[in-house]
Each structure stands twice: as C-alpha cells, then as structure tokens.
Amino acid sequence: MSEPLGPGPHTRVRRLPEKALYDAATVFDIVDAALMCHVAATVDGLAMALPTLHARVGTTIYLHGSKSNALFRAVLDAGVASLSVTIYDGLRLARSAFESSIAYRSVVIVGATREVTDPEEKHRALGAVLEAALPGRSREVRAMSQREENLTLVVALSIDEASAKVSAGPTTDEPDDAALPIWSGTVPARVVYDEPVASTDGAMAEGEVPLADSVRRLRERT
C-alpha cells in the first residue's frame, strides 16, 4: 500500500469507516477514473458546489473555468478548498430497503489552492484537463489562442489530505430475511458511449472528415 494521505482532520471517514481507504494509490486511481469532480466553497455566505472537469498531475489537481467564476474566486480567496469525486458502479440490492444501497467509489480531498499564472504551467494544465476528458484529443484540436487563454482561469489544488470510500459487493441481509423469496444481488453499471453524431457545418458539411482517432478509441474501449 502506498503512502497514506489521511485520515486528516477534514477527511476522516466516520460513517462506515470499514469502507475507508487512505492510501495514495487508491485515491489517485479513483480521481483519475472519475469523469467530473465537485469543488466546494462559500460564496456570499452560501455553501455551494460546482461540477467541473479536472486533471491530476502528481499531487496537484488542476481545474479550469472562466475568469469571472465566483466560486473559483472564492476558492482562491480562501486559499484552501475541498474537492470530491464519485463513480457510480451500480446497485446493491438486499431483501430489505434498509440494507439496499449503491456500489460506488468516492474521494474527498482538502488542500491549498493557488491561481496558475505561469504560462507554461497553465498551458500544460489545460492540456492535461482535455486529455483527462478524452485521451488524444489535445493533438487533434487547434491550439488555444492567446485571447482564450486570457479568458480562462486555472486553479491548482494540492492534495494535502484525502480519503477514499469504496462500497462494493453483496449486501448483508438480516438473518431472518435470508429465507424470504425476494431477489437480491448486485447490478453492475458502467459508462457506455453511443454512436458519435457528426457536426454538419463548415468542412464537416462535405462529409469527408473522418472520425477522430480519440473518439474511435473511446468507442472501442466501451
């Protein structure tokens, strides 16, 4: 097991602690597999959470948004933020509603925040976010213009403490429920990508632009 990232004062799992994992390898694997994350902050006295794309590079998570994003500005003003990811893996069905639940992998991270202002780091971070969403896509799109970079805010969040929580496998029924003629078990779930729908404007209108390799590989994997 790799170096532990917790339990810390903000990330100790208290509900069902037997499902908790604090090693860096587990935390990183879940963060990397998650398609989106939620960043939390207090904006004008109200606790808010924002869904957004992310990319992990080592022990840093990069987030991007508009320069005018109020939540990201609050995150930077506070100098610290919490981030969470959840991967839905299916249903865990018991013979009772009380013991039924879902299968999931989740992570909560707390760490210091900073705005990325170095041009090279910012460029790498934006590329990493795109690659995390669709591997190989950064080599297919045109380069970001200076205007687009100026309009984009990049936030770096250090993984200072973290915890993972994993719920998997069959449920545990009450002993008296085991004999009940009620179906129980697990129903796995996964993300599947449907047939790509091509744009019909510009060069695409001619119908001669082949499917992007990144999209083709995505379909092949699922």
The structural domains of the chain, ordered by start, are: 17-175+183-191 (2.30.110.10)
| pLDDT computed for residue 76 by the predictor | 97
Q: Are 143 and 59 in contact (CB under 8 A)?
A: no
Stretch 24-47: mean pLDDT = 96
What is the distance between the alpha carbons of residues 110 and 128, in angstroms, rounded to a whole number? Answer: 21
Q: State the Cα–Cα distance between residues 2 and 11, nearest whole angstrom.
A: 18
Strand partners, 46: 43
The pLDDT mean for the chain works out to 94
Angle at the Cα of 113 from the Cα atoms of 107 and 115, rounded to 5 degrees: 130
Q: How far is residue 159's CA from residue 110's CA, in Å, rounded to a whole number?
A: 6
Does residue 138 have a pLDDT over 90? Answer: yes
| List of E strands, the chain | 20-21, 37-43, 46-52, 54-57, 60-66, 80-93, 101-115, 152-158, 161-167, 185-188
- What pLDDT score was predicted for residue 16? 86
pTM for this predicted structure:
0.92
With 90 as the cut, is the pLDDT of residue 3 above it? no
